[in-house]
Chain A
Amino acid sequence: MKLKGNAIFELFLIALSAGMFIVSFTYNPRARFAPELLSVLMFFLTMLLFLGENIPFFQKRMKFMNQRGFFTKTESEGDNRARVKEQSSSGEPAQSEPRPASGSGSGAAFKENLKLIRLLLWLILFAVMLRYVSYLITVPVWLLLFIKLESERSWLQSGLVAVGMGIFDYVLFAVLLRATF
């Protein structure tokens, strides 16, 4: 069986809550009260979600999993449409029809993940630069490179944004806040 993204995410949450539950036993009884209770709760909730969404056997038997948020009580047509649009635009396959979204979309999903990894590398670069060179250099240089290479804009545009933000940062953090980091 091939695991979908949401299944992996839910498994991650299950593992996390199980891990936190186990670790909580190293704390004294009063300190572990809250984490213990919460991690058990979280474990079962995410387990329920995982089974209900990914295993057809449970999917059929746990209709209550489709319960929507409480406050959107007016289930008018217009409202429904708005929500579906909201969800599909935020990347979640509309829940009532989870199957068809996965098959054709695997190539797109792969591309999406690749892009996510690339963006994360950019973000890590920002953090590393902050660590080793001053923020006064980090911000303009990172922006210049990012807008030129990742956003594929002209040097002029990236240069202007970089210089503008560099000056703004200098005035705000160095002059006003007298930042010493």
Chain B
Amino acid sequence: MADILRGLMDFMAWPSPLFMALGALLGMLFGFIPGLGGAQALALLTPVTFGMPPNQAMAMMIGAMGAVPFGGSISAILINTPGTPQNAATTFDGFPLTKQGKAGFALGASASSSVMGALFGVVVLAVLIPLGKPVVLAFSYPEYFMMAFMGISVIAVVSLGSIWKGLAAGVFGLLLSTVGYDPVTGSVRYTMGFEYLYDGIKIVPALIGLFAISESLEMMIKGRDLDTGNKAIGNVGSGVWEGIMATFKHWWLFIRCSVIGVIIGIIPGVGGSVSNFLAYGHAVQTTKDNPHFGQGDVRGVIAPQASDTAKDGGAMVPTILFGIPGSVETAVLLGALILHGLQPGPKLLLDNPTIVYVMIFALVASNVLAGVLGILGARYLAKLTLLPVKLTSPVIIALALMGAYATNGVLEDVILALVFGVIGYFMNKYGFTRVPLVIALVLGTMFQQTYHQTISSMGWQGFFKRPISLGLFLVTVVMLVTPFIKARQDRIRKAKKEGEMYEA
């Protein structure tokens, strides 16, 4: 308790809050720009914080880390491009809302669910530090596999339009994820002689292509502005307050999605790329009253954002308990701690408990700050969607391609983004949803590797002998089967009513 107080005092000591605020602004900016994310923000801040005492340095770095998920949701909602891969699911309903002229509403919902999710994550972190160890140790290869499996089966649930095209897109994504090093034997596949492809198709440029580039291409070719459908064109920024309240209105969904985020954060190596899909799929699955997911349902914004920020609190558990980074961001953070002479891992909590609490407070504060800024700015940000497409599209393209380029400074990333831009454009044009492709591409490698890990260390029985793995498997099966049965029942009922079975 005394440590918590001392941590709070340390965090409040000037100029730590200032550095936290600067970090948060930077984090929001990096989150917003597709291609740049938390890892880049932290890598940038590492040399800047060299000269600072550890408390201030951590306040600044965690400040940046905490604000990234919300920053990324802004571009997901406004320009249909996830600012970071973790925001991919936010585009599914965030952008349709923008198309309907409800950008302010979506931004408000994203801000409030992000802030509340972060608070939830941190509270769980504080409670869970003593219990974290068994949780971390309970998840092994089969559980990882089942989580990837669960994430991939979300495809069946979220495909709009033809289910067959959705499945084809998903299989296409899985097939593309086999490019590069085979995770088992280390031989390379489908690289066509390019060294660049050895590590497989990189997610960030692929996302930039599939979303930012293909969306801009389409809008320019159609020559239609974003809000042509919207009569009350001056009102895009309104509804921010309703958006904020939406999180509270759907508080039970919010809590469930935050729990998903925290649990996935705790498990090292799974990370945010799964949690947002699982939360989204969960929301789609469990919503009974009047769902219109994929066409602008605010619950489709709340769910991934809540799990995204809640995950950050969870990711601190393995970092603090084991010295094992739970995500790319925490990996950079661990490097920075070492440079400041702090040894991450179990000893940190014993030797330097205050710094741990400074990190926790900074995480909360930066999320609150980002959320408040987002809420204040939402109505103005929303107005951006009213600008003519002929002006915004080239800017989005330039920004997105530069973001792809800046992550590693290699031109191949730009070319990959262009290729995926064309693929995404045609997929969209011919009724293949891009969502299954993204989910499969992100989770494919993990799916494959954990499968082989399980087989080689435990045999196929490993999947079903362990209670958590078996439980996850059953949940997935139920998730896949129920809508099918329900749809059938609905159809039969409807057929009875109309007196005809099929009308194609």
What is the interface of chain A, defined by CB distance below 8 A to chain B?
5-6, 9-10, 13, 17, 20, 23-24, 27-28, 30-32, 34-35, 38-39, 41-42, 45-46, 48-49, 52, 63, 65-75, 79, 82-83, 85-87, 89-92, 95-96, 112, 115-116, 119-120, 123-124, 126-127, 130-131, 135, 139, 142-143, 146-147, 150-153, 157, 161, 165, 169, 172-173, 176-177, 179-181
Beyond A119-B220, A126-B397, 10 extra complex contacts between A and B, CB < 8 Å: A10-B430, A30-B185, A31-B187, A42-B175, A69-B162, A73-B483, A86-B160, A91-B222, A123-B401, A135-B402
Assess the B487–A130 pair: CB atoms within 8 A: no
Task: Tell me the nearest residue of chain A to B389, going by C-beta.
Answer: A151
Instruction: Point out the residues of chain A lying under 8 angstroms from B220, CB to CB.
Output: 115, 119, 150
Assess the A139–B398 pair: CB atoms within 8 A: yes
Known: A41-B171, A42-B171, A165-B395. A48 touches B164 (CB 8 A): yes
Which residue in A73, A79, A123, A153 is a CB contact (below 8 Å) of B390?
A: A153
B155 to chain A, nearest CB (A): 10
Among B166, B171, B399, find the residue whose CB has the most chain A CB atoms closer than 10 A: B171
Assess the B411–A115 pair: CB atoms within 8 A: no
Which residue in B162, B168, B224, B285 is a CB contact (below 8 Å) of A66?
A: B162
Interface string of B15-45 (1 = CB under 8 A from A): 0000000000010010001000000100010
> Which 5 pairs, one residue from A and one from B, show the smallest C-beta to C-beta distance?
A151-B390, A31-B182, A181-B409, A6-B430, A92-B431
Q: Does B149 contact A (CB under 8 A)?
A: no
Selecting from B256-264, B378-386, B418-426, B465-473, the interface stretch reads B418-426
Assess the B414–A173 pair: CB atoms within 8 A: no
Which residue in B164, B184, B399, B430 is a CB contact (below 8 Å) of A65?
A: B164
Which residue in A17, A67, A150 is a CB contact (below 8 Å) of B175?
A: A17
Assess the B402–A67 pair: CB atoms within 8 A: no
In the assembly, what is the distance between CA of A92 and CA of B427, in Å? 10
Which residue in A67, A150, A157, A179 is a CB contact (below 8 Å) of B164?
A: A67
**7 residue pairs bridging A and B, Cβ less than 8 Å apart:** A41-B171, A42-B172, A67-B164, A69-B158, A69-B161, A71-B157, A130-B405
Which residue in B26, B295, B414 is a CB contact (below 8 Å) of A130?
A: B414
Instruction: Point out the residues of chain A lying under 8 angstroms from B427, CB to CB.
Output: 9
Assess the B398–A165 pair: CB atoms within 8 A: yes
Which residue in B165, B221, B394, B484 is a CB contact (below 8 Å) of A151?
A: B394
Known: A68-B163, A75-B490, A153-B390. A9 touches B221 (CB 8 A): no
Known: A31-B187, A119-B217, A127-B418. A9 touches B430 (CB 8 A): yes
Task: Tell me the nearest residue of chain B to A176, going by C-beta.
Answer: B44
Instruction: Point out the residues of chain A lying under 8 angstroms from B406, CB to CB.
Output: 173, 177, 179, 181
Interface string of B172-200 (1 = CB under 8 A from A): 10110010001011010110000000000
Instruction: Point out the residues of chain A lying under 8 angstroms from B221, CB to CB.
Output: 112, 115-116, 119
A13 to chain B, nearest CB (A): 7
Task: Tell me the nearest residue of chain B to A123, going by C-beta.
Answer: B418
A171 to chain B, nearest CB (A): 10
Instruction: Point out the residues of chain B lying under 8 angstroms from A52, CB to CB.
Output: 164
Assess the A71–B483 pair: CB atoms within 8 A: yes
Main SS class of interface, B:
helix
Instruction: Point out the residues of chain B lying under 8 angstroms from A151, CB to CB.
Output: 390-391, 394
Assess the B504–A87 pair: CB atoms within 8 A: no
**Which residues of B (107-165) have their CB < 8 Å from a CB of A?**
156-165
Known: A27-B182, A31-B187, A73-B490. A45 touches B418 (CB 8 A): no
Interface string of B443-467 (1 = CB under 8 A from A): 0000010001000000000000000
Instruction: Point out the residues of chain B lying under 8 angstroms from A63, CB to CB.
Output: 502, 504
Task: Tell me the nearest residue of chain B to A45, going by C-beta.
Answer: B168
Instruction: Point out the residues of chain B lying under 8 angstroms from A116, CB to CB.
Output: 217, 221, 425
Assess the A153–B164 pair: CB atoms within 8 A: no
Instruction: Point out the residues of chain A lying under 8 angstroms from B229, CB to CB.
Output: 85, 89
Instruction: Point out the residues of chain A lying under 8 angstroms from B190, CB to CB.
Output: 20, 23, 35
Instruction: Point out the residues of chain A lying under 8 angstroms from B504, CB to CB.
Output: 63, 66, 96
**Which residues of B (39-56) have their CB < 8 Å from a CB of A?**
40, 44
Assess the A70–B391 pair: CB atoms within 8 A: no
Which residue in A32, A83, A89, A165 is a CB contact (below 8 Å) of B160?
A: A83
Q: Does B255 contact A (CB under 8 A)?
A: no
Assess the B397–A123 pair: CB atoms within 8 A: yes
In the assembly, what is the distance between CA of A27 and CA of B405, in Å? 31
In the assembly, what is the distance between CA of A115 and CA of B220, in Å? 9
Q: Does B486 contact A (CB under 8 A)?
A: yes
Which residue in B156, B182, B295 is a CB contact (below 8 Å) of A30?
A: B182
Task: Tell me the nearest residue of chain B to A38, going by C-beta.
Answer: B175
Selecting from B231-239, B286-294, B332-340, the interface stretch reads B286-294
Assess the A42–B431 pair: CB atoms within 8 A: no
In the assembly, what is the distance between CA of A48 and CA of B304, in Å? 34
In the assembly, what is the distance between CA of A165 and CA of B421, in Å? 22
In the assembly, what is the distance between CA of A5 and CA of B167, in Å? 20
In the assembly, what is the distance between CA of A31 and CA of B395, in Å? 42
B460 to chain A, nearest CB (A): 14
Task: Tell me the nearest residue of chain B to A139, going by C-beta.
Answer: B398
Assess the B168–A46 pair: CB atoms within 8 A: yes
B171 to chain A, nearest CB (A): 5
Instruction: Point out the residues of chain B lying under 8 angstroms from A115, CB to CB.
Output: 220-221
Which residue in B285, B405, B429 is a CB contact (below 8 Å) of A90?
A: B429
Known: A86-B295, A126-B401. A70 touches B430 (CB 8 A): no
Which residue in A39, A79, A96, A150 is a CB contact (below 8 Å) of B292?
A: A79
Known: A46-B168, A71-B158, A142-B398. A127 touches B429 (CB 8 A): no
Known: A20-B190, A115-B221, A153-B391. A68 touches B161 (CB 8 A): yes
Which residue in B29, B163, B390, B395 is a CB contact (below 8 Å) of A70?
A: B163
Which residue in A86, A123, A146 is a CB contact (below 8 Å) of B421?
A: A123
In the assembly, what is the distance between CA of A179 and CA of B187, in Å? 33
